[in-house]
Structure 1
Amino acid sequence: MPETLITTPFGFESTAAEVVEGIDLTGKRAIVTGGSSGIGIETARALAGAGAEVTLAVRDTAAGERVANDIDGDVRVGHLNLADQPSVKAFAAAWDGPLDILVDNAGVMALQELTRSPEGWELQFATNHLGHFTLATGLHDALKAAGKARIVSLSSVGHLSAPVDFEDLHFERRDYDPMIAYAQSKTANVLFAVEAQRRWGADGITANAVHPGAIFESNLARHIDPAVLQQLRTSGSYRFKTLQQGAATSVLLATWPALEGQGGHYFEHGNEAPIVEAPVIPHPGSGVAAYALDPANAERLWEVSEALVA
């Protein structure tokens, strides 16, 4: 972690279109997971608007096609179910040619009941981390072939509520808590970026993590009681972003020239976040937990993940 945090001209209210203005992505190829809803749509729209060929990697390809038809530019659709390892491996195996930008945007949050993948993994960890881990490792050669590729791993301020519990990843011994399970998966998303940068930086791959902000319109919160969401919206505890604002930091990390080679960091609201004490009650602008950037944790998670998905 550098003593001086990386700053940019952008902030809380910046939009994806503002971030990518003046950047030419002609000839670049991008994948956005979860690109058929929420900030995934606006991320894809901004990348395509700058000239990139964008593939929406989605579970619902019909929804993906509707979004693709609504976005100006070269937008394609591929089937990807992050909770289904064979689906992830098939998507990666079918990819042909270089890949310049991988935005690990899709996710699931706050499943109220303990739900497991076919492998027996807790579903938020299986989807948010292990699915994206398999996807990125499966696409490593394509990212390397691009010469200067970017990986954007979407985390959350929610990561401040819990580290990765290496002794009980899948809630086999501890009581299940929806938000702790979500927090663990979002910490994993940061650790992935840290270790991907260490392992793949020499291949020209730059990996960073991002907290997009609290977005009321996002489909991510579909498992949370609407009354609770409305209470959060009116409480004044959170500043909510529009979808266009929520996509801004992802697009920044995917495209901004000055960030070339600047990897292994956690950004929020357009700038690198400071390290804060955790666990804490998270609020927008809270920063990043030291355990989420810890190199030993990052290496351990990578090795555990490799063993799980092998």
Structure 2
Amino acid sequence: MTTGFNAQSTAAEVVAGIDLTGRRVVVTGGSSGIGVETARALAGAGADVTLAVRDLAAGQRTAVDITATTGRPVGVARLDLSDQASVAAFTANWDGPLHILVNNAGVMATPLTHTPEGWELQFATNHLGHFALTNGLHRALASEGARVVSVSSAGHLGSDVVFDDIHYRARPYNPWEAYGQSKTANILFAVEASQRWAADGITVNSLMPGVIRTNLTRHIDEEELNRRIRERATAIVWKTVEQGAATSVLVATSPALDGVGGKYFEDCAEAGLNVPGERTGVAPYAIDPESAARLWKVSEEILAG
């Protein structure tokens, strides 16, 4: 599937000409990085945007900035995806329909950390938090049909979901593999959710935003980050945050995606299968329907305790 846009397209270009007046939007992690530009583009198209953020002060500053550039009021609500009580509070407080949910927030390459429940932090935040959030908002999403955007990464190529030891209770911890596992989970979630919720008019797609310098790298040692950049220098094409937000905005709004679900996008187009050794495309294990169904069941079991 092609859309007429590419890796250089910006979020504003992707949404140009699309009227989102009356559409309600939630962007998780909307106070930094590509979340800001995703929210800005959607607000600029007329949407009623809520930033779901851990840091309310940062969210309020971002809301003021977006309002200044778009003329649209922007809401802010607290959401800590690593804290299931926070997720439950957010979903309980949401009232009325929700037309677009952009599951954008995430953490990357953190030191080994377990939540109070014993869940590995990256999996808990990047997947379980968004899994619980989206399920908790299902009624709002289904009321008028909605799009869910699951922001994944080429990092998913680093690991399938290791069902035998998701939370690193026995195997040696590798922060990049753990990140890859959580990003694979983001793609598998889109595959299964689209299957389950098609009759509700909900479509769910995943995407790779591109390589962008944001505070997502805050947990990475500078020397380690520079080493990884040197190793992949010929393969890395840096994007601005406006370009990085473009694929999220396309998946959220493009008329070409009406009724389309369970797909993985990059550079504003549907991606093909990954060729081993390359950093583009989607890994076959990340779109396997049996694995997607298994992850859904396992995620429900984890959350149920």
TM over 0.5: yes
Instruction: Give yes or no for the alignment of 1:294 onto 2:292.
Output: no
Structure 1 residue 226 displacement after superposition:
2.0
What is the number of residues matched between the two proteins?
A: 298
Instruction: Give yes or no for the alignment of 1:83 onto 2:82.
Output: yes
* 50 and 140 in structure 1: CA distance in 2 versus 1, 3 angstrom threshold: same
SS in 2 for 1:141: helix
For residues 79 and 141 of structure 1, what CA distance do their matches in structure 2 show? 20
For residues 218 and 6 of structure 2, what CA distance do their matches in structure 1 show? 27
Deviations 1:190-244 (A, max 9, x none): 000000100001100010000000102x111111122333455563331110000
SS in 2 for 1:308: helix
- Contact in 2 for aligned 1:35/1:64 (Cα 8 Å): yes
The aligned residue for residue 14 of structure 1 is 9
Matches within 5 A, 1:113-124: 113-124=111-122
The aligned residue for residue 148 of structure 1 is 145
The aligned residue for residue 97 of structure 2 is 98
For residues 236 and 62 of structure 1, what CA distance do their matches in structure 2 show? 39
For residues 278 and 221 of structure 2, what CA distance do their matches in structure 1 show? 19
Compute the TM-score of the two structures, normalised by the length of structure 1.
0.94
SS in 1 for 2:81: coil
- Contact in 2 for aligned 1:160/1:282 (Cα 8 Å): no
The aligned residue for residue 309 of structure 1 is 303
Pick from 195, 201, 218 the counterpart of residue 222 of structure 1: 218
The aligned residue for residue 195 of structure 2 is 198
Structure 1 residue 130 displacement after superposition:
0.1
The aligned residue for residue 20 of structure 2 is 25
For residues 24 and 262 of structure 1, what CA distance do their matches in structure 2 show? 20
Instruction: Give yes or no for the alignment of 1:260 onto 2:254.
Output: no
The aligned residue for residue 3 of structure 1 is none
Q: Which amino acid aligns with 2:288?
A: D
- Contact in 2 for aligned 1:160/1:281 (Cα 8 Å): no
Pick from 122, 133, 136 the counterpart of residue 135 of structure 1: 133
Q: Which amino acid aligns with 1:242?
A: T
Q: Which amino acid aligns with 1:132?
A: H
- Contact in 2 for aligned 1:197/1:206 (Cα 8 Å): yes
Instruction: Give yes or no for the alignment of 1:49 onto 2:44.
Output: yes
Q: Which amino acid aligns with 1:302?
A: W
Q: Which amino acid aligns with 2:62?
A: V
SS in 1 for 2:155: helix
SS in 2 for 1:208: strand
The aligned residue for residue 66 of structure 1 is 61
Deviations 1:162-183 (A, max 9, x none): 1000111001111000000000
The aligned residue for residue 158 of structure 2 is 161
SS in 2 for 1:167: helix
SS in 2 for 1:275: coil
Moved more, 129-138 or 223-232: 223-232
Structure 1 residue 161 displacement after superposition:
1.1
For residues 248 and 61 of structure 2, what CA distance do their matches in structure 1 show? 22
Q: Percent identity?
A: 62
Q: Which amino acid aligns with 1:167?
A: D
For residues 50 and 309 of structure 1, what CA distance do their matches in structure 2 show? 36
* 148 and 169 in structure 1: CA distance in 2 versus 1, 3 angstrom threshold: same
